[in-house]
Amino acid sequence: MTSATHLVQESKQTSTKVSKSATTHWVGHQQSLVGRTAAYLGLTLCVLLIGLPVYWMISGAFKTPQEIYSVPPTWIPSQPTLASFPKAWNSAPFGRYYINSFIVTLFGSGFEVFFAVTSAYAFAFLRFPGKRYVFLLLLAALMVPVQVTILPNYLTVARFGWINTYQGIIIPGASVAYGTFLLRQYYRTLPTEIMDAARVDGAGHVRTLVSVVTPLAKPAIVSFALLSIVAKWNEFLWPLIVTNTKEMRVLPIGIYWLMVEEGTIDWGVVMAGTIFVVLPVLIVFLYAQRYIVDGIAAGAVKG
């Protein structure tokens, strides 16, 4: 009798445990479902906030001026037209603007990435007097707004006679503290065993940087390069201040002149010109994002 009672109690305890486990699993599943739903809703909201202006720009480039100003607005062009694109291209010397923007972006971003890669290596792996204080100075430079440096940079560029020149646009922004800080933090996460192995093999600092650190840090370097390219390509204020002729203007300034040269703004032309500005950066991003994904995937496998 006692044995039967014991079996019944064990059966009840087992069923209770199973019931609690099932309840916990169901609650966890519900919480996970709620979390995923909230995440997807947030992602959808971000896509709408970012994507709707871009879609409006693209659709507006294919609309007639009458349709752009129509009320209520139309989301899909009723009579798509390409007339705004040649009009935008001919309203300003966009060919020259493209050349200027390519030169400024190529050399400006190239200098930024080079100085960031090398200076970050020095901060991460080299020993030199006052290293901590120099790094604090670098951090302090991150706190200074870009607008504060415009006047000193302009006076310096003017003394060198670089007004309305490529070097006047490029050199004041050839290095930024953010890139050095970003890559230095990433370098510090690299496995020290690989660095030690390179030293044992007799590799100097240059070879270690080129053959070891740079390949391992490719995701961070490509990410910073993309940020730099976008910033240089879209830079407006400094090129506007340091140039004074149409032949030295860059694309963002060209878009601005499309809006102010005529009394009535032709938004179709402005949006078509904006597509000229956005398209090259989009192509660069689509090409470079695979390096970021490959680097993240490789890091996940190695970890």
pLDDT value of residue 95:
86
Peptide bond into 72 cis (omega under 30): yes
Structural domain boundaries in the chain: 13-52, 84-302
Give CA–CA dist 91/89, Å, rounded.
Answer: 6
pLDDT value of residue 46:
86
Amino acid identity for residue 132 in this structure: R
Cα 27 to chain centroid distance, Å, stands at 39
**Burial of residue 240 (number of CB atoms within 10 Å: 0-12, 13-18, 19+):** middle
Query: What's the chain's length in residues?
Result: 303
Give CA–CA dist 126/120, Å, rounded.
Answer: 10
| Tens-digit pLDDT string for the chain (303 aa) | 455 555 445 555 555 554 555 566 555 566 677 778 888 888 888 888 888 888 888 888 888 888 888 878 888 888 888 888 888 888 878 889 999 999 999 999 999 999 999 999 999 888 888 888 998 888 888 888 888 889 999 999 999 999 999 999 999 988 888 889 889 888 888 887 888 788 888 878 888 888 888 888 888 898 889 889 989 999 999 999 999 888 899 988 888 887 766 556 778 888 888 888 888 888 888 887 776 665 555 444 344
Contact (CB, 8 A) for 253 and 36? no
pLDDT value of residue 33:
78
- Single out the residue of 220, 146, 93, 86 nearest to residue 101, CA to CA: 93
Give CA–CA dist 250/14, Å, rounded.
Answer: 75
**Burial of residue 115 (number of CB atoms within 10 Å: 0-12, 13-18, 19+):** middle
In degrees rounded to 5, what are phi and psi of residue 268? -65, -45
Fold of 84-302: MetI-like fold (1.10.3720)
Cα 43 to chain centroid distance, Å, stands at 18
The token pair at 48 is 């709408």
Give CA–CA dist 115/96, Å, rounded.
Answer: 28
pLDDT value of residue 299:
43
Q: Classify residue 209 by its DSSP letter.
A: I
Task: List alpha helices for 62-176, DSSP H.
Answer: 65-68, 84-91, 94-125, 131-142, 150-160, 166-170
Half-sphere exposure of 231 (CA within 13 A, CB side): 21
